[in-house]
Each structure stands twice: as C-alpha cells, then as structure tokens.
Structure 1
Amino acid sequence: METESVPQEITSLVGREVYSNNGVFVGEIEDIRLDLQKELVTGLALGDVNNELFDVRVSDSEGVIVPYRWVRAVGDIVLINDIVERLQDPDDEENV
C-alpha cells in the first residue's frame, strides 16, 4: 500500500526535539540551514543541546549544526544517525 506524504512547511521543524537512533536526546531544532540555489535543507541548527554529548565543544550560549544528511526520520521528533554519539574529543584521538 502506498502512502502519500503531505508537504509541510519547513518552519514546522522548529521546536522539535532531535534524538539519535539509540534514543539519546541530542537537542532541539532552533533554525534550519538552507542552500537556496539548490533549494535543499543542508543542516539543522540545534539549541538546548545534550551537555553530555557536547560539553567540551559547546558553551551554554552556543548550539550546533547537524548536517541534514544525518537525518533518518522526521515525525513528531527527528531521528538522526548515532554518529553524534561517537564524536571524540580531539585530544583523545590517536595519531594514525
């Protein structure tokens, strides 16, 4: 059975919570980054981010931009790849 998707305004994403595939809260969408020439969404600007994920990288007054290619599903919440959970502190990375 085919389901037709109903177009929604891009602004309807603002205020939605973002979670990883594993159910970890990432942040809340505050804005959308667009490529106007290509008419594409390129990123989600998140505020109220999970301090456990971003404590070293983001101060209380900042947010993060998640590439839209990480988005897996959009509904009442937005699910993204769990790659954000695997971010490493640059000081912890081993030189290869």
Structure 2
Amino acid sequence: MDGTPEEITTLVGREVYSNNGVFVGEVEDIRLDLDRQSVTGLALTALNDELFRDRIDPGKGVLIPYRWVRAVGDVILINDVVERLKDPEEEEESSAIA
C-alpha cells in the first residue's frame, strides 16, 4: 500500500483472516496517524464468535494494530496472534468453588 486515499478506503468491508486461514472479522474502519500519513490500525466488526465470545460483548468490535497485517488482497491476512485467544490459561475458572 502506498497510502493513497483510494487504497485506504478499499480496505473497509474486507474480511480479515489469520495467516492460518481462520476468519477473524470484517474491517469497519481504519485508524490513521495523520502526522505520519499512515494506517496504524484496523477496526474490526462481525467478529469470529469462537475467538472473541468471552472477551468482547456482542455487537462490539476490536482494533488490531496494522503491524499485524501480512498481506492485503481480496482479503486481509494478519499474524496468527489472534488465534491464541482461543486457548487462554483460565485455570482459575475451573478451580472455582460453588
């Protein structure tokens, strides 16, 4: 991306997948650094419920750093960092006393 407005606006509405092929969400908005004239983040909605169910309230979105983006084409590919949310170490919940 060379940062032209035409290219930036084409990101909105694109689906975002991890580089392992897992659907993450859809781009709703772009976060810009106006001083540097660069994209710094992507605001995602229509999130993958399996990844975000216990972390994000329904109807809310997430902002991912643009540095996670690996490729932009028909879809946007990002690092698999988001997938690691599926396997949190939540052993405290399993040891809760009723």
TM-score, scaled to structure 2: 0.81
> Aligned equivalents of 1:17 and 1:67: distance in 2?
16
Q: What amino acid maps onto 1:56 in structure 2?
A: D
Aligned pairs for 1:23-34 within 5 A: 23-34=21-32
Residue number in structure 1 paired with 2:8: 10
Aligned equivalents of 2:67, 2:60: Cα separation in 1: 22
Aligned pair partner of 1:19 in 1, 17, 20: 17
Higher helix share: 2
Percent of aligned positions with the same letter in both sequences? 67
Question: By how many angstroms is 1:92 displaced?
Answer: 2.1
3-state secondary structure, aligned to 2:10: helix
How far does the alpha carbon of each residue in 1:35-78 deviate from its partner, in whole angstroms, 9 at most, with x for none?
11111101000000001001111112200011100000000000
Q: Secondary structure at the match of 1:9?
A: helix
How far off is 1:14 after superposition? 0.4
Mind listing any 5+ residue stretches in structure 2 that lack a counterpart?
93-98
TM-score between both structures, scaled by the size of structure 1: 0.83
Q: Provide the aligned length of Structure 1 versus Structure 2.
A: 88
Q: 1:93 to 1:34 in 2, by over 3 A?
A: farther
Paired with 1:16 and 1:60, the residues of 2 have a C-alpha distance of 20
- CA RMSD of the aligned region, Å? 2.0
- Which of 39, 45, 49 is the aligned partner of 1:41? 39
Secondary structure at the aligned position of 2:16 is classed as strand
CA displacement at 1:9 relative to structure 2: 2.6
Partner AA of 1:29 in structure 2: V
SS at structure 1 position matched to 2:60: coil
